[in-house]
Amino acid sequence: MKLFVGLGNPGSQYARNRHNVGFMAVEAIAREHRFGPWKRKFQGHAADGEIAGEKVLLLKPDTYMNESGRSVGEAARFLKIAEEDIVVFYDEIDLAPGKLKVKTGGGNAGHNGLRSISAHLGNDYVRVRIGVGHPGVKELVARWVLNDFAKADEAWLAPLLEAIGKAAPRLARNDQSRFLTDVAKDLGQSSDPRKEKTAKPDDSAPEPPRAAKPRSHPAGERANKSANAIAENLKKWLAGRKTDD
DSSP code string of 126-154: EEEEEE----SSGGGHHHHHTSBPPGGGH
pLDDT at 108: 87
pLDDT at 204: 38
What does the pLDDT look like over 12-35, one tens digit per residue?
A: 999 999 999 999 999 999 999 999
Nearest to 71 by CA among 105, 110, 113: 113
Domain ranges of the chain: 2-186
Task: Give the residues of the chain that fall short of pLDDT 50.
Answer: 193-209, 214, 237, 242-245
The catalytic residue positions are 19
Length of the chain: 245
Residue 3 β-bridge partners: 57, 86
Architecture of domain 2-186: 3-Layer(aba) Sandwich (3.40)
Burial degree of 136 (CB within 10 A; 0-12, 13-18, 19+): exposed
What does the pLDDT look like over 94-121, one tens digit per residue?
A: 999 999 999 999 888 789 999 999 999 9
